Structure 1
Amino acid sequence: MIFTSIIAMTAVVFLSRYIFLEPRLPVKLNVKAQRLLSYSSPAVLTAIWAPIVFVHDEQLALSLNNPYLIAAILAALVAWKTNNVIATTVISMGCFFILNTVIN
């Protein structure tokens, strides 16, 4: 049963992507649908990182003892100022590892 579910989910994901990525297929989205879908990536990424940064032990963690929050704020500032993905990643990860070692 589990194997069948995995195969079915794989087929659904592959086909849903193949329909839109294969240039020879005559499926085209209108401008409104394309604009609507442009918001999906930021929404999914926010749904992934927000609980990691803001929730610890099933409680909202908005204190300066939260290394995730401090590193996320630093990452946002570095990304805003530098527009450099590598610098943002290295600086924020370094800050997080240092803070996580000191605080914990």
Structure 2
Amino acid sequence: MIMLSIFAMTALVFISRYLFLEPKLPLRLSANVQRFLSYSSPAVLTAIWAPIVFTHEKSLWLDSFNPYIWASLLAGILAWKTKNVLLTTVVSMAVFLMLNLVLFRT
């Protein structure tokens, strides 16, 4: 049953990607649908990172000793100013590591 579920999900993902990425198929999305779908990536990413940054042990963690908040603020500022994904990732991860190891030891 598990293998059937895995194959079914694989087929579903492949078919959904194939329909939109194969240039020979006449399927095209309208401009309104494309504009609507452009909001899905930021929404999904926010749904992933917001609970990690703002919660700890199922409670809201808005504290000045929260290294996740400081590293995410730095990452946001770096991404906005430099537009360089690699630099933003490496620097914010290094700052997060330093905050955890040196400043906010618990």
**TM-score, normalised via structure 1 length:** 0.94
Alignment of 1:1-104 (within 5 A): 1-102=1-102, 103-104=104-105
| Runs of 4+ with deviation above 2 angstroms | none
- How far apart, CA to CA, are the structure 2 residues paired with 1:35 and 1:81? 25
Identity between Structure 1 and Structure 2 (%): 62
**TM-score, normalised via structure 2 length:** 0.93
- How far apart, CA to CA, are the structure 2 residues paired with 1:86 and 1:30? 33
Q: Which runs of 5+ in 2 are unaligned?
A: none
How big is each residue's C-alpha offset from its partner over 1:53-102, in whole Å with a ceiling of 9 and x where there is no partner?
11110011111111111100011111122222222112111110001112
How big is each residue's C-alpha offset from its partner over 1:7-63, in whole Å with a ceiling of 9 and x where there is no partner?
101111110010000000110111111111111111111111111111110011111
- How far apart, CA to CA, are the structure 1 residues paired with 2:29 and 2:90? 38
RMSD: 0.9
Letter matched to residue 71 of structure 2? A
Size of the aligned set, in residue pairs, is 104
Question: Which has the larger displacement, 80-89 or 5-14?
Answer: 80-89
